């Protein structure tokens, strides 16, 4: 059985921070100031896909397989969606680079024992594990990567058999985004949990959603400290605890140790 080849990747390229929103967190709310974010180079980045145009996998294509378990018990988890995503490398003019995950190439769902297998053309990939809705576990990528910027790419030239994952417990963060102009809900507004205020590289895997018609949302994160970012063409806003949203950090963070509530009131019209 051939072991996989791994290429470690530079992680966490953080952009300038935005603003926080008015909200009410639960008892674990922390209002510590945000750490200084690393500002990326002003010149544009160049994104290069390390594989050529993705072809359709055939029965002869190499397979990626493994098993998904609960981190605490080691029990297999059924119904976990496994996506194999094209790996993309972002190169900055100053020298650093990072790997991000692009379009899905293949997907599979774990069976009762937590096992899965997916066929893909030869190339470089990310693997993402998303529990079924209502599952008490949080999403992650291979090698326990919890943010978009923390990625270990896999080079697939033949069968890869040990792409496993041990999922951590997840906690629900839910709330509502409303307008201070109209007093009504803001529909289809994005919100994401981040480990640091800044770019999407610090966004938590699987914790980026949009609001429904009533302005409500729900996302799942593992235990930790998070910032909550809502960004659209009308502006970028960060949750700021009980204070009004701000456009520039420092801003409030929330220590999530159980299910929590985060509401944002944004100074925009619907």
Q: Which of 167, 183, 214 is the last residue of a domain?
A: 167
Q: Are residues 86 and 125 in the same domain?
A: yes
What distance in Å separates the CA atoms of residue 173 and residue 228, rounded to the nearest whole number?
Answer: 10
Q: Are residues 134 and 226 in the same domain?
A: no
Q: Are residues 215 and 248 in the same domain?
A: yes
Per-residue model confidence as pLDDT tens digits over 135-166: 999 999 999 999 988 888 899 999 999 999 99
Per-residue model confidence as pLDDT tens digits over 61-81: 678 999 999 999 999 999 999
Give the CA distances from residue 189 to residues 1, 96, 152, 171, 182, in Å, rounded to whole numbers and listed in that order.
47, 32, 30, 21, 15
Average pLDDT, the chain: 81
What distance in Å separates the CA atoms of residue 68 and residue 47, rounded to the nearest whole number?
Answer: 31
Lowest mean pLDDT segment, chosen from 9-23, 106-120, 204-218: 9-23
Count how many domains the chain has.
2
Per-residue model confidence as pLDDT tens digits over 79-120: 999 999 998 776 767 766 667 788 999 999 999 999 999 999
Give the CA distances from residue 102 to residues 107, 144, 178, in Å, rounded to whole numbers and listed in that order.
14, 18, 31
Residue 55's pLDDT band (boundaries 50, 70, 90)? very low
Q: Are residues 100 and 190 in the same domain?
A: no
Q: Are residues 145 and 182 in the same domain?
A: no
Query: Nearest-CA neighbor of 192 among 153, 248, 231, 136?
Result: 231
More confident residue, 209 or 37: 209
Q: Which of 167, 189, 221 is the last residue of a domain?
A: 167
Residue 199's pLDDT band (boundaries 50, 70, 90)? confident
Per-residue model confidence as pLDDT tens digits over 25-47: 443 444 444 444 444 444 434 34
User: Residue 83's domain is classified under what CATH number?
Assistant: 2.60.40.10
Q: Which of 137, 167, 197 is the last residue of a domain?
A: 167
User: Residue 256's domain is classified under what CATH number?
Assistant: 2.60.40.1120
Q: Are residues 227 and 247 in the same domain?
A: yes
What is the predicted pLDDT for the residue at 226?
97
Q: Are residues 132 and 225 in the same domain?
A: no
Q: Are residues 156 and 71 in the same domain?
A: yes
Instruction: Answer yes or no: is 134 within a domain.
Output: yes
Query: Nearest-CA neighbor of 255 among 23, 31, 28?
Result: 28
Residue 88: both structure tokens together: 């993309």
Parent domain of 87: 42-167
What is the predicted pLDDT for the residue at 144?
92
Q: Are residues 163 and 180 in the same domain?
A: no
Instruction: Answer yes or no: is 194 within a domain.
Output: yes
Instruction: Answer yes or no: is 17 within a domain.
Output: no
């Amino acid at each position: 059985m051939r072991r996989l080849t791994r290429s470690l990747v530079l992680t966490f390229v953080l952009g300038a921070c935005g603003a926080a929103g008015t909200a009410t967190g639960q008892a674990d709310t922390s209002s510590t100031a945000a750490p200084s974010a690393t500002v990326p180079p002003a010149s544009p980045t160049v994104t290069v896909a390390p594989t050529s145009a993705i072809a359709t996998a055939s029965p002869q294509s190499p397979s990626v397989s493994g098993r998904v378990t609960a981190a605490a018990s080691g029990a297999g988890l059924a119904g976990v969606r496994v996506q194999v995503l094209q790996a993309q490398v972002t190169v900055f003019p100053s020298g650093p680079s990072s790997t991000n995950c692009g379009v899905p190439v293949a997907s599979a769902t774990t069976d009762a024992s937590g096992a899965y297998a997916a066929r893909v053309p030869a190339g470089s990939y990310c693997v993402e594990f998303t529990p079924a809705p209502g599952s008490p576990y949080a999403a992650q990528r291979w090698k326990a990567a919890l943010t978009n910027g923390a990625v270990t790419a896999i080079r697939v030239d033949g069968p890869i058999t040990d792409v496993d994952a041990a999922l951590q417990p997840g906690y629900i963060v839910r709330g509502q985004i409303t307008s201070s102009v109209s007093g009504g809900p803001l529909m289809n507004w994005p919100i994401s949990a981040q480990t640091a205020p800044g770019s999407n590289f610090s966004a938590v895997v699987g914790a980026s959603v949009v609001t429904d018609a009533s302005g409500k949302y729900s996302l799942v994160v593992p235990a930790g400290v998070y910032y909550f970012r809502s960004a659209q063409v009308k502006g970028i806003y960060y949750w700021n605890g009980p204070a009004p949203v701000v456009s520039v950090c420092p801003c409030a963070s929330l220590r999530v140790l159980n299910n929590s509530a985060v509401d944002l009131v944004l100074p925009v019209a619907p």
